[in-house]
Structure 1
Amino acid sequence: MDQQQFDVVIVGGAAIGSSAAYFLSANPGFSGRIAVVEPDPSYQFSATALSAASIRHQFSNAENIRMSLFGTQFLRDFATLMAVDGSAPDPAFHEGGYLFLATEQGLPTLRQNQALQTQLGADIALLSTRQLQDRFPWLVVDDLAAGALGVSGEGWLDAYAMMQGLRRKAVAQGVQYIKAKVVGLQASAGRVGAVTLDDGRQLACGAVVNAAGTGARALVVPLGIDLPVRARKRSVFYVQCPDPLPGCPMVIDPSGAYFRPEGQGFIMGVAPPADQDPDATDFEVQHTLFEDVLWPTLAARVPAFEALRCQRSWAGHYDMNLFDQNLIIGLHPAWANLYFANGLSGHGMQQAPAIGRALSELITTGRYQTLDLGRLGWQRILDDQPLVEINVV
């Protein structure tokens, strides 16, 4: 069987892989052939399709803030940028804001984060408990000290539409999508020369991008690379509530539980306790987590939720970076042409545009041009120096 030749093979075609394909194929400094290998073009089990589909600027480190600021602008321009043959996709971006709530214990961190966020250009307002009560009268604030509200730029969207828009534009720009699974990397002397597919084919390549999500670690274990990324299950519940919650943003409770409007109801979720959060191997919904933890927690915060009814639910997998909950991007020092974009820990979809742009710049010029993500590279892993992200939802 003849071996196909590509300049870049991207493993994984969801939000990160398709963004990389779009930006690389749109880069005037790149004229090579690009293949995206994706085993499931329906994206039925992808983190992008199963996520809470939101974007925020309220992170605790500068790189995450800047990446999401770019993501917001990209979404605002999405219809124009992704238009193909006069057809413009609509990601249904709704700038409803995030509201992070804090007790007295969490107030110093909230203030510190808000100062950094606003310094970098995010539109985040710090609200007192009186301001919270006046603006959101349906919210219990007795135990709170303050809240940080994204006035503009934060919100939620149709993540599937965004992903498909990126894919369609990449194809229009000459990217080839291949329905298959990469089962091996053919490597020697610090370079990957080809990828092997589950149908036996091999694709020769000049460079490889590992955007395989929860499958990223298994892909590189045979190369002796210990990627600290594991699959973690997160369940999402769609509920209806008899009482309206006027002006409701995406609310992040001090417990870590969240909720936001979705259609005529709300979606909500919470991470399980660390000792009950094993490697995810199935997509069974964690109903006991809803009954025992999520519902009681949020009913105490929003009394109207005491009468909510759960209409449906689903579970997805985070590609969780257990080292510091942050993106790992760029070349591995031991491999000259193997690029990584992994471990997004739940904020991959919103930062996909910035990551795709960054990978395009690295592959084309060998360095970051617009936003330096060097601190998010492999070196911090190898040096055991975590760059921890506090605001993981």
Structure 2
Amino acid sequence: MAIASVDVAIIGGAVIGSSVAYHLAQRDDFKGTIAVFEKDPSYQRCASALSAASIRQQFSSAINIDISLHGINFLRNIGDILEVDGDKPRVDLVEGGYLFLATPDKRSILEENHALQQKMGADIAFMEPDALLANFPWLNVSDLAAGSHGLSGEGWFDGYSLMQAFRRKARSLNVPYESAQVEHLEKIMGGNWILTLSNGEQVEAGVVVNAAGASGGMKICLEADLDIPIHSRKRMIFTFECREEVPNLPLLIDPTGTYVRPEGAGFICGSAPAEIDDLDCFDYDVDYSFFEEHLWPTLATRIPAFEAIKPGAAWAGHYDMNLFDHNAFVGPVPGIEDFYLALGFSGHGLQQSPAVGRGIAEHIVTGGYESLDLSELGIERLGINKPLIEKNVV
């Protein structure tokens, strides 16, 4: 049955939207109604399902480190936090750490980042080349000046399970999910929003949260007369197996930006394409030449054992990429009353979903942030041309 009116309408029911829904519904001081609108209830092509799903504290900005410090604690305790009827969800968290590698020209950046990370309480080790080789004997360190390794609090997990755990918990708290796309959005007399759905129905809402991601987030903003630089950018993930063992491999970030990590008995890898080739995209086609011509040679140079591999399956998904500064826009929009953004995560949505969902819920109910101040991620920085610089963009 159609929902005639709700207090809070959340557009997008993947990990960000579902985190907002859960965090709002579980608050004792929120007595209103919530509805989530998701155009693809199968979630087959959402970023939450297609991501490599990892979490790190190795950022260069304090707010991103704080967000992920909360995120890792949430993931560690997810079974208790999101339990429903005695069923404790699992996300198979592996705290294998990130391993960032730096050539001489980038060593100072790694040192500066490490100092901030330590100050913030992140468990990160700075390593000289000899320490890298001692800890990771399969690694080619000939061109390296340093590395930084997350000893705890970093790794990878099942992103789809995290999304479903948020969704199931929200539904258990009486949040309905409507299988429909929001086609039109307008503000009416009296201050409420009218959402026109793809099935022709209309819903009145007091507050709208735009968590529609790469596929719909920009369109919803334009419907609200807001133009922001969020673009859909394709990222491909490739799997392979290796004859030799590569023991204790973290999620390794090569100086080129190429990454690799264990996955079951094999490995997954990927990289952003060259900037000139990184165009707006909505298809899910896989370019296998990217693996053969770029990823494999890069990885085989860094880890010689990867010269003899067996390529496996591959898939593609999309980032909601914020071309302003590669950080999300989070929070209310000045000048557009009762309209919240949770967009532009640029590949960090899964790890940031616990803190962002909590923060948006706090702001809706109290008018401000209670636990972690997310105002640095506000859209105000776009209007004054003050990007939040993140040096560790992966």
TM-score bracket, shorter-length normalisation: over 0.9
Alignment correspondent of 2:94: 94
Alignment correspondent of 1:52: 52
Residues 117-176 of structure 1, C-alpha deviations (whole Å, 9 max, x = no match) = 111111000011111101101110010011100000101001111110110001011111
Shift of 1:292: 1.2
* Counterpart check, 1:166 vs 2:166: yes
Alignment correspondent of 1:349: 350
User: Which whole-Å CA distance do the structure 2 matches of 1:102 and 1:253 have between them?
Assistant: 8
Question: For residues 350 and 2 of structure 1, do their structure 2 counterparts lie closer, same or farther at Cα, with a shift above 3 Å needed?
Answer: closer
Question: For residues 189 and 128 of structure 1, do their structure 2 counterparts lie closer, same or farther at Cα, with a shift above 3 Å needed?
Answer: farther
Does 379-388 or 216-225 show the bigger shift? 216-225
User: Which whole-Å CA distance do the structure 2 matches of 1:2 and 1:14 have between them?
Assistant: 21
Shift of 1:2: 7.5
Q: Which runs of 5+ in 1 are unaligned?
A: none
Query: SS state of the match for residue 151, structure 2?
Result: strand
Give the total of aligned pairs.
393
Alignment correspondent of 1:300: 301
User: Which whole-Å CA distance do the structure 2 matches of 1:81 and 1:175 have between them?
Assistant: 17
Alignment correspondent of 1:74: 74
User: Which whole-Å CA distance do the structure 1 matches of 2:392 and 2:48 have between them?
Assistant: 19
Shift of 1:280: 0.9
Alignment correspondent of 2:127: 127
Q: Letter of the aligned partner of 1:273 in structure 2? A: A
| Contact 1:346 1:392 (C-alpha < 8 Å) held by counterparts | no
Alignment correspondent of 2:249: 248
Shift of 1:354: 0.3
Shift of 1:191: 4.5
Alignment correspondent of 2:224: 223
| Contact 1:330 1:359 (C-alpha < 8 Å) held by counterparts | yes
Residues 289-340 of structure 1, C-alpha deviations (whole Å, 9 max, x = no match) = 1111111111100011111111100000000000000010111111110000
| Contact 1:191 1:335 (C-alpha < 8 Å) held by counterparts | no
| Contact 1:190 1:334 (C-alpha < 8 Å) held by counterparts | no
Question: For residues 192 and 213 of structure 1, do their structure 2 counterparts lie closer, same or farther at Cα, with a shift above 3 Å needed?
Answer: farther
Query: SS state of the match for residue 230, structure 1?
Result: strand
Residues 84-107 of structure 1, C-alpha deviations (whole Å, 9 max, x = no match) = 111111110110100000011111
Shift of 1:286: 2.2
User: Which whole-Å CA distance do the structure 1 matches of 2:291 and 2:178 have between them?
Assistant: 39
User: Which whole-Å CA distance do the structure 1 matches of 2:322 and 2:283 have between them?
Assistant: 19
User: Which whole-Å CA distance do the structure 2 matches of 1:190 and 1:108 have between them?
Assistant: 55
Alignment correspondent of 2:262: 261
Q: How does 1:349-388 map to 2 (within 5 A)?
A: 349-388=350-389
User: Which whole-Å CA distance do the structure 1 matches of 2:107 and 2:375 have between them?
Assistant: 30
User: Which whole-Å CA distance do the structure 2 matches of 1:191 and 1:56 have between them?
Assistant: 40
| Contact 1:192 1:208 (C-alpha < 8 Å) held by counterparts | no
Shift of 1:223: 2.9
User: Which whole-Å CA distance do the structure 2 matches of 1:190 and 1:272 have between them?
Assistant: 47
User: Which whole-Å CA distance do the structure 2 matches of 1:233 and 1:268 have between them?
Assistant: 15
User: Which whole-Å CA distance do the structure 2 matches of 1:75 and 1:314 have between them?
Assistant: 25
What TM-score do the two structures reach when normalised by structure 1? 0.98
User: Which whole-Å CA distance do the structure 1 matches of 2:114 and 2:288 have between them?
Assistant: 34
Question: For residues 289 and 2 of structure 1, do their structure 2 counterparts lie closer, same or farther at Cα, with a shift above 3 Å needed?
Answer: closer
User: Which whole-Å CA distance do the structure 1 matches of 2:89 and 2:223 have between them?
Assistant: 40
Q: Letter of the aligned partner of 1:204 in structure 2? A: E
| Contact 1:194 1:202 (C-alpha < 8 Å) held by counterparts | yes
Residues 178-197 of structure 1, C-alpha deviations (whole Å, 9 max, x = no match) = 11111111214795522111
Alignment correspondent of 1:17: 17
Alignment correspondent of 1:287: 288
Alignment correspondent of 2:41: 41
Alignment correspondent of 2:154: 154
Q: Letter of the aligned partner of 2:87 in structure 1? A: S
Alignment correspondent of 1:179: 179
Alignment correspondent of 1:390: 391
Q: Letter of the aligned partner of 2:352 in structure 1? A: Q
Residues 66-99 of structure 1, C-alpha deviations (whole Å, 9 max, x = no match) = 0011000000110011111111111101101000
User: Which whole-Å CA distance do the structure 1 matches of 2:240 and 2:191 have between them?
Assistant: 50
Query: SS state of the match for residue 36, structure 2?
Result: strand
Residues 360-386 of structure 1, C-alpha deviations (whole Å, 9 max, x = no match) = 100010001111111110110111111
Q: Letter of the aligned partner of 1:31 in structure 2? A: K
Alignment correspondent of 2:199: 199
User: Which whole-Å CA distance do the structure 2 matches of 1:7 and 1:222 have between them?
Assistant: 19
Query: SS state of the match for residue 164, structure 1?
Result: helix
| Contact 1:12 1:210 (C-alpha < 8 Å) held by counterparts | yes
User: Which whole-Å CA distance do the structure 1 matches of 2:188 and 2:175 have between them?
Assistant: 27
| Contact 2:100 2:253 (C-alpha < 8 Å) held by counterparts | yes
Question: For residues 129 and 175 of structure 1, do their structure 2 counterparts lie closer, same or farther at Cα, with a shift above 3 Å needed?
Answer: same
User: Which whole-Å CA distance do the structure 1 matches of 2:337 and 2:352 have between them?
Assistant: 25
Q: What's the RMSD between the two structures over aligned residues?
A: 1.3
Does 291-300 or 184-193 show the bigger shift? 184-193
User: Which whole-Å CA distance do the structure 2 matches of 1:223 and 1:39 have between them?
Assistant: 19
User: Which whole-Å CA distance do the structure 2 matches of 1:176 and 1:11 have between them?
Assistant: 12
| Contact 1:285 1:315 (C-alpha < 8 Å) held by counterparts | yes
User: Which whole-Å CA distance do the structure 2 matches of 1:175 and 1:129 have between them?
Assistant: 52
Shift of 1:287: 1.4
User: Which whole-Å CA distance do the structure 2 matches of 1:238 and 1:129 have between them?
Assistant: 28
